[in-house]
Amino acid sequence: MVEQRRSWLVAGRGCAAAGWILWILVQAVAADPFPPAISLSQYGLGGTGWLFSVWVVVLATSPLLLLRYRPVPGPARWLLVAGYLGTWVMAVVRTDEGGLQQSTHAKVHMAGAAAALVFLPLGIAFVLWYAARAWRLLSLLLVAAAAAAGTLVLLSAAGYDTAGIGAPSSWALWQASLVVLEMLLVALYALVVHTVDPPAGRGQQVAPVQSAIHE
């Protein structure tokens, strides 16, 4: 049991690390560094679009694997699953070139992206509610920052120049910032998952794992 749980931990942390590496590769291959000229979804177009798909799916897989290592009660599992499914929609269904997102498939892509960007951070926050106090507070701060970035995305989409660089560029900036905040949440989860200790697990399943990890 301990070895099986340890494998979930290693795989989850590996996906989190790979997500950051793939994020850098996606930008390098597209020759469009952060913040992107139009949107992150544009990385999914063209012959190298598969790299974008691998990136988002690998990143979203990490929280689910980490949850297998240290389960918690509450809605975290369903939120993470909803976000994961949204990520697959975003990975498989492409957006429109140019970022207008007027076609049906582009709207489906946008819906998947919205699900991923909303549910994954919330799921992680529900998990880290059971982490050490410092990490719980940090996760809440990151979720609050993500909510602020999401609000700016919506305002920019409505035509407001929220960053002083024009509404379209502002939209791309805040969308990319929202994704980075989500990546930071995944990284935080991967780093501090060993501190997650739900009340139902104390003295039962969690304690043996903690003992094995600290040996």
Q: Cis before residue 71, ω within 30 degrees of 0?
A: no
Amino acid 99: pLDDT: 67
Q: What is the pLDDT of residues 56-111, one digit of tens each?
A: 999 999 999 999 999 999 999 999 999 999 999 999 999 888 767 788 988 898 89
User: Could you tell me if residue 210 is inside a domain?
Assistant: no
User: How high is the mean pLDDT of the chain?
Assistant: 88
Residue 93 domain boundaries: 2-205
Q: Is residue 127 pLDDT above 80, yes or no? A: yes
Q: Distance (Å, rounded) from C-alpha 13 to C-alpha 186?
A: 9
- Number of independent structural domains in the chain: 1
Confidence label for 203 from pLDDT (cuts 50, 70 and 90): very low
- Tokens for 6, please give them: 């340890």
Q: What mean pLDDT comes out for the span 126-144?
A: 95
Q: Distance (Å, rounded) from C-alpha 113 to C-alpha 107?
A: 10
User: Could you tell me if residue 212 is inside a domain?
Assistant: no
Q: What is the pLDDT of residues 149-182, one digit of tens each?
A: 999 998 988 888 888 888 888 888 998 999 999 9
Q: What is the pLDDT of residues 97-116, one digit of tens each?
A: 876 778 898 889 889 999 99
User: Could you tell me if residue 34 is inside a domain?
Assistant: yes
Amino acid 183: pLDDT: 96
User: Could you tell me if residue 12 is inside a domain?
Assistant: yes
User: Could you tell me if residue 124 is inside a domain?
Assistant: yes
Q: Is residue 211 pLDDT above 60, yes or no? A: no
Q: End-to-end CA distance of the chain: give it in Å, rounded.
A: 16
DSSP annotation of 42 reads G
Q: Cis before residue 35, ω within 30 degrees of 0?
A: yes
Q: Distance (Å, rounded) from C-alpha 135 to C-alpha 97?
A: 39
User: Could you tell me if residue 211 is inside a domain?
Assistant: no
Global confidence as pTM: 0.88
User: Could you tell me if residue 214 is inside a domain?
Assistant: no
